Structure 1
Amino acid sequence: MRHSAQVDLIHRFLKLRADRTTDMAPDTRHHDVGVYVDEGRATAERALLFRGRPLVAALSGDLPDTGDCVAVDVGDVPTLLVRGEDGQVRAFLNACRHRGSRVAEGHGHAGRVFTCPYHAWTYDLHGDLLGQPLARDGFAGEDREALGLHPIPVAEVAGLLVVAPGATGPLDVEDWLGGVHDELASWDFDRYRFFDERVVEVDCNWKLAYDTFLEAYHIFSLHSRTVGKGLLSTPAVGDTFGPHGRGVVFGKQLARTVAELPEDEWDLLGHSSVVYQLFPNAVINLPSSGHAEVWQAYPHPSDPSRCRVHLRFYTPDGIPEGPEGDRSRAFFQRNLDFTAEVVLTEDFQQQEAIQRNIASGLMHEMVFGRNEPALQNFHASIDAVLAREAAE
């Protein structure tokens, strides 16, 4: 994030702090909890939000070199991302065209060939079929060009790798990102390197899991023994960029620190967490430790009361070899373990309890406060997408 933007955000924080308030939405929002349990609504969301629209799949830093690849499940679509010899990123359905087996797993380097583990069919970095060992005349008459890996529209923008599994044409992701594009680009996500990941099944609707990241109001209470020791619930500063958002959760020492320094030495990033919400389901959290977290919440394919959440954890510039690298690796491992423990136990256990309360049938609405503007914007953006589809 550019220093001028950091200074602007700190000034906003200091003003809100002096006024004993926080960023506010114009009104409260009475929110129908049926959106977390209704099967028809869940079906519409899966079709309209998780197929034809752009979804953040990974960071550019996942694929720094030719032949680097990563296999990710984008919702219910097994997806393979690879950087080709021309430097371009391509995405494919991670399924061999012979019998549908996955041709890659995890995060790594493919070299120049993908080999299916089932019958050893091979594909190049463009997804074209190279070989069918021992097949002889078994596939005579088939068009080999039609047996390449199934392509998925993908774009690389602002350090993000974005896919749309159900789209049929190129993605206009710069238009999709809108006003948040330049700020995201300033983080240089291509220099971040993958460290580890966690994938969990959570017994709540995907939107409840995502709601976790949309307000800082709960930090002082739910996280009083963990992150609440160092971070403030209020004031919080947030901005919306169409359906997307960016919030800043400030450290308790920031005001004291900046009071002792000239403005050109102010450092927001060392005393806060910057959280980007990228519609519809991705969060990029950039805390003061210097690492990056990419969170993605995906709906269950049939049960509105369940979801799958991915956490991908990245380190800045990777980890060197030797004793310094060992210390760095241990530092980031502690951060990952702490982050996962806080969110998976304190946050998601709370959301699972809320889901059970909703399922009782006796709870009909929630009230989103004026002090929760990102939460309001997220749900209003979903409503708008579904309303446009209904009107067409």
Structure 2
Amino acid sequence: MSGVLGIDLQYTWSTLALGEGRPVPGGTRVCLLGDGFRTLVPNACRHEPGSSERTWGSPAALRALGEGPADANLLTVWRTDPWSPDFLDGVRERTARCLGLPRSDRKPALRPVLCAGPGTPQDAARRLEEAGLGTPVGIGPAQALACRWLAGGGTLPDRSILLAVVCAERSTAVEAYQVQCAEGRPLRLRPAGASLLDVGAGPWGFMVAREVLARCREDARAGDLLPLLDSVREYAAQLHSGAPVPWAGALAGQLFERLVLSRDDLARRPEVADTVEALRTVAERVASVSGTASRPSLILLGGAGAAWPFVHDALRGPAPVWRSPDPYTDLAVGAARWPELREYFHPAATAPYLTAPSADTAVDLTAAAASGSGSGSGSGSGGTTPAAVLGDHTGHLVDEGTDRRKDDENLPPWLR
């Protein structure tokens, strides 16, 4: 296999990135697969009654919504578990179609690199293998975001602190790295502390969508709900200006009352303010236990939350904040770059992610690593770590043609 499939399965949508080329810095070209209608694939899969036909992605979501009136209760009625056999088989078929292969061909065509965030099932590797996608390499959200930054030529001076913050749909991962540079060698990123929150930016989009639907006339149709969620993502980017932004997206012509929202108005709402404050507190704690007296020289911000202005505002300070042009695709694109950029990550053991349900229970991972504590308690979507997801089932994941098992004994489990 000469290509890589970067996989990021979120709660309501998934992103697939195809990487082709040589696994050396600058040798990989990445493109997003989508479902033929959207770059972000709705997690939807539907079997038609009395037929063997199956729809996947956007067509499946639209069929599930039907032709009735639009209702806020239908915003996610189309959602399918992205780890279900049917949805993963749809991923395989879509990948095969993009590569010009028969849909029935179950021989893995690409090496899968999975962004194994919270909510990833314990048997994720087995599920991908049974779907015909191959045995995955697993990386954490922070590693994926760092790869996206590195692929754009990112660099920092020796002994700098890099802080990666990934605010996804239902979780937030924060990890600090110490930059190490040597003459004639690329920089290395040594993990220096990490934490996890089981809250994310997903509710913010539905909050705005409900504001729109509350002002809609009765002739709004359920089939408009998917375009409405697309428009919310565009609206999030417009809020960065700070000025009040009138709604001009899907269903704008069917509103009986004009909708105008601003960054400051939304930032004061509890569903935003509580999450942002918890994230800010945890980011400060992770940075402060990074093993040096230095503050971060750069903060990487990615995932769905980076599309909104709130997290950026909370992290803004002495260190600049870097964001990619398309935060929703950060993790899949970064995963597709992993084979090319793996050498930038220092092969030293570190504590796995621990779940912090709130800022008050965030864990000092530097202390945990020193004491040998590698297990944390958590609940909900945040209870699974990349180490638990892929390490136990697959043992040591190896590069094709090269047995790295001896070297990998010193790697954290989600980098093996």
Flag whether TM exceeds 0.5 (same fold).
no
TM-score (ref. length: structure 1): 0.24
Larger radius of gyration: 1
Higher fraction of strand: 1
TM-score (ref. length: structure 2): 0.23
